[in-house]
Amino acid sequence: MDPVKALKQVAFHLERAGEPTYRVQAFRNAAAVLADLDPAEVEKRAKLGTLTDLKGVGKSTAGVVQDALANREPSYLAKLRHVDITGGEELRAKLKGDCHVHSDWSDGGSPIRDMAEAARDLGHEFMVLTDHSPRLTVANGLSRDRLEKQLEVVAELNVELAPFLILTGIEVDILDDGSLDQDEDLLARLDVVVASVHSKLKMPRAEMTTRMVNAVQNPHVDILGHCTGRLVVGKGRPESQFDAARVFEACAANGTAVEINSRPERLDPPRRLLSLAVDAGCTFSIDSDAHAPGQLDWLNYGCARAEECGVPPDQVINTRPASRLLSG
């Protein structure tokens, strides 16, 4: 077993299990340190017991390297493999990609390539890169210039990673009046646009309804992201208030998919609203909203809720191949 790959696998499973970022980063940092060394030097240090002399390599990460070089599964990794993410297996097997993924260009923790390779290794045919728009400064949102540079990087990666495909996209902020936080001509160049509310989540119900309806009617918007903005762990955060029937009616009329957000702290929309969206005839996108490679494997959470609420698989846009997704 390659020690660098073993360290990355541990990091992946830590992310998948929702472990703290500092713990994940310890293994990703160690992997980066060892990747810069000659494999012979890594083996020599392992034999001499001097791996921990390297900055960024500690006792636990060195233990993973020792196990890998001895051609046995690292005990640290074996423990993590027992973390089950179950439910929604039938629908999960139909998904061909993930339409909401972040990288370290905004508030994700890993490079685009790492996210793409992890998605590919999970069996996806494509992923949509949806880093944040400029107004969300806390998430290092992308200015026009940075997004245009990202499009160039994605084009290069698509040549290298083919047939896996990175679709271009953005998670664009829905502004107070329902307009979008990026230039219209640039939005038109993207493959997929996810529009989400990230500010003034306690806006009065009538105003929030108008705001969201205006956004989903925009011809560039493909997906309405985490519609209530709720958080269901820790201190939590209450749902934004809006006329869900009107919003979902607008989504159905304009071909804007309602996102089923799989992040365990979101699980948005709630079941009662998800059922309402089904009755309204909406299409859906079951997304991980991943900010790290291991989080890409959270899709089962969303699939389970979709199955519970009777979401028809043929109404889930990411059960379609990329070519059909792009053709509408």
- Burial group, residue 251, by CB count within 10 angstroms (0-12, 13-18, 19+): buried
Report pTM: 0.93
**What is the amino acid identity at position 301?**
Y
Distance spanning both ends of the chain, measured CA to CA: 43
- pLDDT at position 86 is 84
**Predicted local confidence at residue 238, as pLDDT:** 97
pLDDT by 10-residue block (mean), the chain, 328 residues: 93 92 93 96 96 96 96 88 86 98 95 97 97 95 98 98 98 98 97 98 98 98 98 95 98 98 97 98 98 96 97 97 88
* Antiparallel, parallel or unpaired: β 192-196 and 223-224: parallel
Give the integer Cα–Cα distance in Å for 45 and 50: 5
Taken in order 19, 233, 82, 103, is the CA torsion positive or negative?
negative
In three-state secondary structure terms, 92 is helix
